Chain A
Amino acid sequence: MATHNAQLELKKTSFISLNRIAVIAGHTFTQLVRMKVFYFLVAFVILIWATKQIIFPNETGGSGSPEQELRLLKSTGFAAMNIFSLLLALASTALLIPKDIEDRTLYTILCKPVPRLDYLLGKLAGVLLLILVSLFVMDLILSLFLHQKLSGMIAIHTEQLAARGIPKEAIQEYLARYEAHGVTANIHYATLTIFLKAMVIASIALLISTFSSSTLFTIIATLVILIIGLIVADAREYVINMAAIGQESKLVSTALAISILFPDLQFLSIEDGVIDGRTVPFSIMRQILIIALLYVATYVVLSWFAFRKKEF
Chain B
Amino acid sequence: MSDNPKNKSTNTTHYAVEINNLVKTYSSSFKRKKFKAVDNVSLNISPGEVYGLIGPNGSGKSTTMKALLGLISPTSGHCKIFGCDSKRIDARSEIGFLPENPYFYKHQTAAETLKFYGKLCGIKSKALNERVDELLELVSLNHARNRRLAGYSKGMLQRVGLAQALIQNPQLVILDEPTAGVDPIGSREIRDLIFKLKEDGVTIFLCSHLLEQVQEVCDRVGIIFEGTLVNEGTLEQLTAIQNQQEIIIENADQGLLESISEIIQKHSSSGAKLISSNKPKSSLETLFINTAKSRQK
- Interfacial residues, chain A to chain B (CB-CB below 8 A): 1-13, 19-20, 23-24, 27, 30-31, 34-35, 103-105, 107-115, 309, 311-312
Contacts and interface: CB of A to CB of B under 8 A. Distances in A.
Contact of A107 (B83, B99, B107, B219): B99
B92 interface: yes
A2 B105 CA distance: 38
Contacts of B12: 7
Contact of B105 (A12, A27, A312): A27
B74 to A, nearest CB: 11
- List of 3 A-B pairs having minimum Cβ-Cβ separation, nearest first: A6-B9, A4-B13, A103-B103
B117 A108 contact: yes
20 contacts: A1-B220, A2-B47, A7-B83, A8-B8, A10-B91, A10-B93, A10-B94, A13-B93, A23-B116, A23-B120, A30-B107, A30-B108, A103-B103, A107-B71, A108-B104, A110-B69, A111-B174, A112-B92, A114-B92, A312-B71
Interface of B: 5, 8-10, 12-15, 46-49, 66, 69-73, 81-84, 89-95, 97, 99, 101-105, 107-108, 116-117, 119-122, 161, 164-165, 168, 171, 174, 201, 219-220, 234
A23 B84 CA distance: 26
Contacts of B103: 103-105
Nearest to A4: B13
Nearest to A311: B72
A311 B234 CA distance: 33
Nearest to A104: B99
Nearest to B26: A311
Given A111-B95, A311-B72, A35 B107 contact: yes
B235 to A, nearest CB: 12
B91 A4 contact: no
B62 to A, nearest CB: 10
Nearest to B68: A111
Contacts of A114: 89, 92, 120
A255 B256 CA distance: 97
A175 B174 CA distance: 73
A3 B46 contact: yes
Nearest to A13: B89
Contact of A9 (B8, B66, B69, B71): B8
Nearest to A110: B71
Contact of B161 (A8, A34, A108, A311): A108
B120 A20 contact: yes
B90 A309 contact: no
Given A13-B90, A108-B161, A7 B99 contact: no
B46 A4 contact: yes
Nearest to B120: A112
A299 to B, nearest CB: 23
Contact of A109 (B14, B83, B120, B122): B120
A210 to B, nearest CB: 15
A108 B102 contact: yes
Given A10-B90, A105-B104, A19 B122 contact: yes
B90 A107 contact: no
Q: Which of B91, B107, B164 has the most CB of A within 10 A?
A: B107
A13 B105 CA distance: 25
Given A1-B46, A111-B174, 20 more contacts: A1-B49, A1-B219, A3-B46, A4-B13, A5-B9, A5-B13, A6-B47, A6-B201, A8-B10, A23-B120, A27-B105, A31-B105, A104-B101, A105-B102, A105-B105, A108-B97, A112-B95, A112-B121, A113-B122, A311-B71
